[in-house]
Structure 1
């Protein structure tokens, strides 16, 4: 039933998105003799910003092919954050070296947590640097498009991975009842449609990259149309909605709640397999969602699994915590608090009780009996936790114990924590200019990657929250387009 409701919601959101973002000017998609200088496959953030760069800085004829009914990709459902905005001046963006440091910090965090071995994976720092050195361009395009800013409280300075970023734009997903994502997409779509050299095709699914040996010659659509082009940018997203690829690359996430829109089907991987491209990236961009409807989990800083044991520093981000739970095969996970926490956070507790996200029990024994948690071990865990709170120290998880409350006062509350994920890291190897490489590590002439498809070159497993995905998509879409502009200008 839950999966049915989820699918129904996704369908409704996509329908609303198509209505709210307007219908792109109608283009003919069945002309077998059509020819463009650049074909962009995928109309999400990466594809839109690639088109923007080409439109702003070249006379090349550009076509965007989006298989859905409207541009935007997963954005209407998931929302996101664009880092580096400034409301009144341009360009107030972080230096590209700071973005490199951000990904370095994520990489080091993966190593420190034991998620990857240093020799197993190395981030492509040149790719990150080159992409974010151009980041002012998509930022300026969005500002010039009149992208509407949300409330000022969402427009501040944030610290991610030890790097302080200037103002950022928060886009709330449509599933939360907000129209900020629709307004955002409407502004960008309207501006793209004003360029005479940008042609937008929706409901147009690309199924093949055409080639002559190691050189791109065009693309083929599902309706049989063949489009001649020497340059193809693949901005096709991840693999979360492909059962085949999830089994192959991320089997541990099968069955977890998936908050994508059905568009992340690994099309870029499928279309490049004939080039024997190298597949990188495991894991997924995810976290915890409560058992019913509340996105933000209870923050009592006392989390246990079905064995009655704590297993993580509860101050970690949802993404890190969910990956630890996934990798260690933890299940039956609950966040626990007592009336002490409820007294200090009455509004949070009332909201979660009203939405049936929180279960209430008269005793810890009753809690364990009803939730199938091992009581004897759970009682030992509670005693150790209470002692750690009293001493403000516990070397086992290195948590700041000024954050927590002792678990002593009835009634006791439990909130089920369920893994979810927005998308995956699995993608293909690219070089420092966003050019896709074949199995011999050679450039495939005329083939470029952007966004989620090449995020695997920047981070392997754990991906911190904060909208890095949208910012990376905007930057790499711009980089791929810029590489084409440099090539044709020579």
Structure 2
């Protein structure tokens, strides 16, 4: 029978881990060092002016305000009063950092992986408050040593899934249809959900789904679409397998309470027959691309996987595979206290991409090494590194990219989401270069190919986002001018070309003629009313494509061209088998993660019961 063990959310404090959502690794290392710089212990007594003090510092998205209470010789309480960071990730930091400061009587506490900027913001706000107490802060900057990891006992399961993002949880749900399986899901981060929890949560389907009333894709048309978008061949048997199970899988999840809004259906790419759905929360938050939309879907998958009998452990990193004679026997694991081995009949790798691993970016997609990472902190290429010794071929090229305003904001929030608003985009030469009404992923790809890797979205004072544009101007992120000539000068582009571009663009709209870049006429927005705004646009990485070569059943292919016994890969770790060059359309990553997770789980189960 299944082992059903309750999920206990314990935030172990993990130092010096790569951070996602827009913070570069160098920035993270620098700030971690500033926060946790170790100072020799001293016998000098800590003395405070007893009372309650308020401090403030910058977090991920804005200021964090804390209240710190001290007695004459100790910190007695730390409480966050205000913040504007992402609620989900901030909560992980807030549940850990204040308690650790009080427990250790130290400001040299470890940040929470995946919530690094929020962690640092809380710590720095506490420092600000404590600086008002008369204490010597250096006396509080002593780091408590961690005990060494102990050797734990070996464990045995039918299936081990490495990674609790969309693909890993989908695999667990599929495996859970067999009530006799013991299923263990291991997640290295302090929380589940992976990239899905930080995404907009869009999910596409078709081919027989009862929730798609229009004619939708077939296995053949889906393959043709992927190859058209990628400009190269895809793994045809795998793509067709995905198409065959897509409608059924989507309907199964919806019928079991999945939070996608079946009334929000839209075609994700023109004439593709591929229909996407917002989460119920996302359908009300699309204006600002709120990251809570994907989190709603991640919470459902986690709860459904538990309901189907999976045991899920957080803060549990799979460090390597157990391999004997090229047969995978299990995994080696580390948590905050011990290291141990889990033996299993089947191992499914669902460890995500490598966008937060500069070394792998330079190796597998060097053109993207300078793009801003804006993705899950756990995307460090673990699955690729673990399979090196097995000689697994890496297939695919390129990264998934969206437009971004800053490394921290990306494309989210009232100001960050302004990158999506303008429908006239120019480069530093003052010229258009892309269909602005097309796919955001294409705009991001083409922006990266422009001079200095930057473009500018041009907008005027019409529409419902003027207040947000003004906020961006106040923050020094958006340009504003009373004339187009002045705007060109402020953003440093070729004025003559720019004015000619705007004139031609406006004439196309007013005359109703076909646009030279194929923009949809009804969506074009001619800038005609002052003041005018310019939004600097760059490309950010939201995921990676190169990954492990697999067959149509998501079995990992070894150096001999045959499946490696007992080893599967799902999700972003194997996206390069399906698409390349450019992220095909919104909703693709979530859909393929869930579909390939199901395929891996189904195949693993079938092999076990034979």
**TM-score normalised by L of structure 2:** 0.68
Distance 1:373 1:80, change over 3 A: same
Q: Is the 2:356–2:379 Cα contact (8 Å) retained in structure 1?
A: yes
Q: Which of 20, 43, 54 is equivalent to 2:164?
A: 43
Aligned to 2:468: 351
Q: Which of residues 224, 231, 237 is equivalent to 1:126? A: 237
CA contact (8 A) 2:365 2:397 kept: yes
1:53–1:137 CA contact under 8 A, matched in 2: no
Distance 1:96 1:265 in 2: 35
Aligned CA distance change for structure 1 residues 327 and 100 (closer, same or farther; 3 Å): farther
User: How many angstroms apart in 1 are the aligned matches of 2:306 and 2:394?
Assistant: 35
- Residue 65 of structure 1 deviates from its aligned partner by 0.7
Per-residue CA deviations over 1:152-195 (Å, capped at 9, x if unaligned) read 76x23435352335673426579966755444444433333244
When Rg is computed on C-alpha atoms for both structures, the one with the higher figure is: 2
SS of 1:231's equivalent? strand
Runs (5+) with no aligned partner, structure 1: 21-28, 112-120
Give 1:353 deviation, angstroms. 2.1
- Residue 369 of structure 1 is aligned with which of 460, 471, 489? 489
Quote the residue 1:268 is aligned against: 383
Asked whether the equivalents of residues 49 and 477 of structure 1 are also in contact (C-alpha less than 8 Å), the reply is yes
Note the 1:436-447 alignment, pairs <5 A. 436-447=556-567
For 2:271, the equivalent position in structure 1 comes to 162
* CA shift digits 1:375-403 (9 cap, x unpaired): 23323333443444455446742334454
Q: Distance in 2 between the 1:178 and 1:406 partners?
A: 30
Q: Is the 2:547–2:576 contact (alpha carbons within 8 Å) kept by the matching residues of 1?
A: yes
Cα gap change, 1:204/1:325 in structure 2, threshold over 3 Å: closer, same or farther?
A: same
Give the Å deviation of 1:367.
1.3
Does the 8 Å CA contact 2:398/2:546 hold for their aligned counterparts? yes
| 3-state secondary structure, aligned to 2:258 | coil
Pairing 1:7-18 to 2, within 5 Å after superposition: 13-16=88-91
Counterpart for residue 431 of structure 1: 551
Q: 1:307 aligns with which of 419, 429, 434?
A: 429
Alignment correspondent of 1:218: 330
The aligned residue for residue 381 of structure 1 is: 501
State the 1:269 CA deviation: 0.5
Q: Does 1:227 align with 2:336?
A: no
Q: 1:51-66 to 2 correspondence within 5 Å?
A: 51-57=172-178, 59-66=180-187
Question: How has the CA–CA distance of structure 1 residues 219 and 314 changed in structure 2, closer, same or farther, with 3 Å as cutoff?
Answer: same
Residue of structure 2 equivalent to 1:192: 305
2:316 counterpart (204, 214, 222): 204
Q: Report which stretch shifted further, 426-435 or 224-233.
A: 224-233
After TM superposition, the structure 1 stretch with the greater mean CA deviation from structure 2, 372-381 or 433-442, is 372-381
Greater RCO (Cα-Cα under 8 Å, separation 6 or more): 1
**Aligned pair in 2 of structure 1 residues 171, 274: CA closer, same or farther (>3 Å)?**
farther
How much is the aligned-residue C-alpha RMSD, in angstroms? 3.4
Query: How many angstroms apart in 2 are the aligned matches of 1:217 and 1:388?
Result: 64
Aligned match of 2:202: 81
Aligned residues: 462
Q: Aligned with 2:311: secondary structure? A: strand
1:394-437 superposed Cα distances (whole Å, 9 cap, x missing partner): 67423344543555554332222222231111211111111111
Quick check: 1:471 aligned with 2:591? yes
- How far apart, in 2, do the equivalents of 1:378 and 1:90 lie? 47
Q: Is 1:327–2:449 an aligned residue pair? A: yes
User: The residue matched to 1:143 in structure 2 has which SS?
Assistant: helix
Contact kept, 8 Å, 1:38 with 1:60, in 2: the verdict is yes
Tell me the CA shift for residue 81 of structure 1.
Answer: 1.6
Instruction: Give the corresponding residue for 1:404.
Output: 524
Distance 1:182 1:106, change over 3 A: closer
* Structure 1 Cα separation of the partners of residues 279 and 429 of structure 2: 39
Where do residues 236-251 of structure 1 align in structure 2 (5 Å cutoff)?
236-251=351-366
Verify: 1:454 aligned to 2:574, yes or no: yes
Q: Distance in 1 between the 2:593 and 2:526 partners?
A: 43
Q: Is the Cα contact below 8 Å between 1:137 and 1:478 reproduced in 2?
A: no
Aligned to 1:277: 392
1:452 partner SS: helix
Flag the 1:306–1:193 CA change in 2: closer, same or farther, 3 A: same
Aligned partners of 1:90 and 1:377: how far apart in 2? 49
Aligned-residue offset at 1:200: 1.5
Of 256, 267, 276, 2:371 maps to 256
Kept in 1, the 8 Å contact 2:173–2:305? The answer is: yes
1:460 Cα deviation after fit: 0.6
Moved more, 392-401 or 279-288: 392-401
Mean Cα displacement is larger for which, 48-57 or 6-15?
6-15
**CA offset digits 1:453-472 (Å, max 9, x no partner):** 11111101212333121111
Residue segments in structure 2 that go unaligned for 5+ positions in a row: 1-21, 28-58, 63-83, 96-149, 410-414
1:313-371 CA-to-partner distances (Å, cap 9, x unmatched) read 22221100111122345534111234xxx34x2x1233322443643212222212211
1:440 positional shift: 2.9
- The separation in 2 between residues aligned to 1:97 and 1:393, in whole angstroms, is 32
Question: SS state of the match for residue 568, structure 2?
Answer: strand
Matched, 1:483 2:603: yes
**2: distance between equivalents of 1:463 and 1:396?**
24
Q: Whole-Å Cα distance in 2 between the matches of residues 386 and 65 of structure 1?
A: 55
